[in-house]
Amino acid sequence: MSSKVESVSKAPLAAIDLEAYQGLARILHHCLIRYPDAELVQGLAECDVAASWPVFAQRQQNTQGRALLGEYLQRWVAGQSDPSDEVQLVDLKLDYGQLFFGPGEPNAVPQGSVYLGEEQLLNDKSTMALMAFYRAHGVEVKVDFPQPLDHIGLFFAVLDQTFGRLSQEPENDALVRFTQVLLQQHLLPWAPRCFALAYEYATTDFYRGLALLGSDFLGQLQQDFQLLPKETRLYR
């Protein structure tokens, strides 16, 4: 572990609404881990997620991301006035598929090892390192279907649980260090590139907006936890 991580001050964390961060991580988990369904999108619209998303430092990514997502959700609500109209959902599923799933190679592969390994393989060395890290800290990640552990959606599931615990245990130094290392060494080196590709190739404002908001959230976490991402070469 780098000295940067070990010397991070806890002081800025006292100002963080960790319950809100937990909610953001949960939204990103559900939106990124599987194909969208109408219930998910309708729920986001009813909760007015775009309007309630924190502005953080009012970076352009944040402002544009909230606008894109908000406009999409408004159109979704308007389109749902006709129960027989499934065009919006079909388009959204097609967009998710070409970005994160396939057929063929996704445009924004959601697994970290593809970015971090020269051979661009799934379950490569970086995945094994993440597995060892989780095992050492007693972290169990439950998946509904076979999925490499370094899927970006699963990272947000772990962050969901971690922020929930931190909100109840703000003085848990070990948990703070776990979060710092998870971000610095396992997620931040590659996830911004995944979000950049998702924004570039997305065909719907839903995923364009989420890509920008996800990237901005990672930037905010980097700032909050005072981290420098591990320097590493990316292979896509």
Q: Is residue 231 domain-resident?
A: no
* Joined tokens for residue 178: 């776990």
Mean pLDDT, rounded, for 48-52: 97
Count of structural domains, the chain: 1
Residues contacting 151, CB < 8 A, separation 6+: 32, 33, 110, 111
pTM of the full structure: 0.93
Can you give the pLDDT at residue 78? Answer: 87
Residue 171 — very low, low, confident or very high, per pLDDT cuts 50/70/90? confident
At 131, which CATH number?
A: 1.10.3480.10
Q: Is residue 234 domain-resident?
A: no
Can you give the pLDDT at residue 167? Answer: 94
Q: Is residue 101 domain-resident?
A: yes
Residue 82 — very low, low, confident or very high, per pLDDT cuts 50/70/90? low
The boundaries of the domain holding residue 143 are: 3-224
Q: Is residue 126 domain-resident?
A: yes
Q: Is residue 66 domain-resident?
A: yes
Q: Is residue 230 domain-resident?
A: no
> Which tens digit of pLDDT belongs to each residue from 55-78?
999 999 999 999 999 999 999 998
> Is the pLDDT confidence value at 14 over 90?
no
5-9, 48-52, 129-133: least confident range: 5-9
Q: Is residue 233 domain-resident?
A: no
Amino acid identity, residue 128?
Answer: M
Q: Is residue 235 domain-resident?
A: no
> Which tens digit of pLDDT belongs to each residue from 185-207?
999 999 999 999 999 999 999 99
Q: Among residues 20, 157, 40, 152, which one has the least CA distance to residue 89? A: 40
Q: What are the CA-CA distances from residue 123 to residues 77, 156, 208, 217 (Å)?
A: 39, 18, 27, 26
Mean pLDDT, rounded, for 101-115: 96
> Which tens digit of pLDDT belongs to each residue from 118-170?
999 999 999 999 999 999 999 999 888 888 999 999 999 999 999 999 999 98
With 0-12 / 13-18 / 19 or more C-beta atoms within 10 angstroms meaning exposed / middle / buried, residue 85 is exposed
Answer whether 108's CB lies under 8 Å from 198's CB. yes
Can you give the pLDDT at residue 146? Answer: 83
With 0-12 / 13-18 / 19 or more C-beta atoms within 10 angstroms meaning exposed / middle / buried, residue 123 is middle
81 or 216, which is more confident = 216
> Is the pLDDT confidence value at 95 over 80?
yes
